[in-house]
Amino acid sequence: MKTCKIFIILLLLLPVSFSNARAEERIYLVAGSSMTPTLLPGDPVVVTDIKNLERGDLVAIGFQQAAHPMVKRVIAVAGDRVEIVEGKLRVNDERVRKIDPGKWVITMKQLSRYGGRLPAGTLLVLGDNPENSRDSRRFGLVAVHQVAGKVFPLKGRSRYGEMEGSSIEGSSMR
């Protein structure tokens, strides 16, 4: 009976072990407030090289001109229809959030070339703290190849003690 329990536990752990062995993971510390309240300055996060992205995912974006990658939330993916109606951002006819349309000129010009839909290989990203975020409103659509990976918060900092590492602008990462 004990052997059977051990075998079942091993079977449950094997798929996790294999998937983690394939994905590269890096730990960063958040350095910025554009993702508050989700991520706070000093929060540790794991960035994986997983690229199958969906709306709502947190991603690390690495621009060549930026010193550190940035964390943002995916608001829309390729094929999604994006529009601004009465000061509200809508994705596929669902209200995402209230916005200032004047800050969306670059992005809306890009989208107008594609009939309001995100073209293949692009994302629309925003910070969770829009008053303090450089995101698609400022730099337009993000090419998927600029995404370094998915971001997963590490909760319970005290468990890890003081962490040294790179920063992720949030935010940026350190």
DSSP the chain: -HHHHHHHHHHHHHHHHHHHHHS-EEEEEEESSTTTTTS-TT-EEEEE------TT-EEEE--TT-SS-EEEEEEEETT-BEEEETTEEEETTEEEEE--GGGGHHHHHHHHTTTTBPPTTEEEEE-SSGGG--SHHHH--EEGGGEEEEEEE---GGGT-S---EEEETTEE-
Q: What's the pLDDT at 105?
A: 87
**Active site positions, annotated:** 34, 72
Q: Which pTM was predicted?
A: 0.76
**All domains in the chain, ordered by first residue:** 24-173 (2.10.109.10)
Q: What's the pLDDT at 23?
A: 64
Q: What's the pLDDT at 162?
A: 45
Tokens of 123: 């994302």
Mean pLDDT for back-to-back runs of 10 residues, the chain (174 residues): 36 32 78 91 91 92 79 96 90 89 87 94 93 90 93 66 49 52
- Can you tell me the distance from the alpha carbon of 106 to that of 68, in angstroms, rounded to the nearest whole number? 23
- Can you tell me the distance from the alpha carbon of 156 to that of 152, in angstroms, rounded to the nearest whole number? 13
Q: What's the pLDDT at 4?
A: 39
